């Protein structure tokens, strides 16, 4: 079970990511942001990298379950993509 402190850290991480993507849109492309994220992840221990990919995969699966009333033209493409990707059988073991 997540502690309140960890939940707050995760919530802040998502808020920070949103600010980076929104504020950087005029200066950085999605590709450039992704490159920085990927490069930083590659500096992590291989096990941690795999755990992070597992979290991303599970996040995509959760987003694929988004209720229709939360979807409009601004997020429709991403939710549809998540639905497709979530069909891929993926397992990222803790090694």
Residue 1 confidence (pLDDT):
83
Same domain, 73 and 35: no
Same domain, 50 and 95: yes
Residue 24 confidence (pLDDT):
62
Residue pLDDT tens, the chain, 95 long: 889 999 999 999 999 999 998 886 568 889 999 999 999 999 999 999 999 999 999 999 999 999 999 999 999 999 999 999 999 999 999 99
Same domain, 54 and 91: yes
Looking at the structure of the chain, the number of domains it has is 2
Same domain, 61 and 95: yes
User: Do 95 and 80 form a contact (C-beta atoms < 8 A)?
Assistant: no
Same domain, 39 and 63: no
Residue 28 confidence (pLDDT):
83
Same domain, 28 and 64: no
- Domain with 49, as residue range(s), is 45-95
Same domain, 55 and 32: no
C-alpha–C-alpha distance, residues 77 and 94, integer Å: 32
Residue 25 confidence (pLDDT):
58
């Amino acid at each position: 079970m997540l502690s309140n402190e960890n939940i707050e850290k995760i919530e802040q991480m998502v808020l920070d990511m949103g600010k980076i993507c929104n504020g950087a849109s005029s200066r950085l492309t999605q590709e450039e942001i992704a490159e920085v994220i990927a490069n930083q992840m590659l500096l992590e221990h291989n096990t941690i990298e795999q755990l992070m990919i597992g979290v991303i995969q599970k996040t995509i699966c959760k987003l694929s379950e988004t209720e229709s009333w939360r979807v409009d033209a601004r997020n429709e493409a991403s939710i549809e993509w998540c639905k497709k990707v979530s069909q891929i059988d993926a397992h990222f073991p803790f090694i």
